[in-house]
Amino acid sequence: MKRFLDRMLDKEEPVDVVAEKIVDGYHKLLSAGIKAGVPPLHEGLAFKSPLTTNVHHVAWTDGELAWIVTAASRYGFFGPVDHPLWKYVEYTTAKAGAPGNNPDWKVGDLVSRNQRRFKYEVIATGDKCVLLRDQESGVLTGDNNENMKKHYKKEKPDLWT
């Protein structure tokens, strides 16, 4: 990198050419060793990322947005299905952290908070977290098992009718 900066400072090469070489070099570094990008994100897909050492799983998607978890996720994270980052991740068959293995919650559970003022349905689970859909607004939120036990109450299905 020093060589590139020296050339730029000595006016041997314009700044934009030096910058392009630096960015291209960084891109090659990031993509080194990646065999192939993953297919379009879909529920159940497991992948590795060059940004972390964890195996990530797509636990839920609506076609535009994906909720992604790892074995250690306490909230999961949302990402757009068509984000350019996905071409730098690699498919894996690892099972650790796969969605649906939550010991306390399952898809379809109904919960409430604040004396039933807020009502939610569990629409996906990770090992240590759940994805909730607010039954009134449709807003999605991830929460961890500890918060679920402390702040939410499991409800019977007839609560919603």
Annotated domain spans of the chain: 2-31, 46-91, 110-160
Report which of 44, 48, 71 is spatially closest to residue 58, judged by C-alpha positions: 44
pLDDT at residue 65, rounded to an integer: 93
Structure tokens given for 57: 């799983």
> Is 119's pLDDT higher than 90?
yes
Q: What separation in angstroms does the CA of 105 have from each of 76, 123, 151, 156? A: 15, 10, 14, 14
Dihedral pair phi/psi, residue 54, rounded to 5°: -80, 155
Stretch 84-94: mean pLDDT, rounded? 82
pLDDT at residue 32, rounded to an integer: 67
Share of residues in the chain with pLDDT > 70 (%)? 85
What mean pLDDT is reported for the chain? 84
> Is 92's pLDDT higher than 90?
no
Stretch 43-60: mean pLDDT, rounded? 87
Stretch 14-25: mean pLDDT, rounded? 78
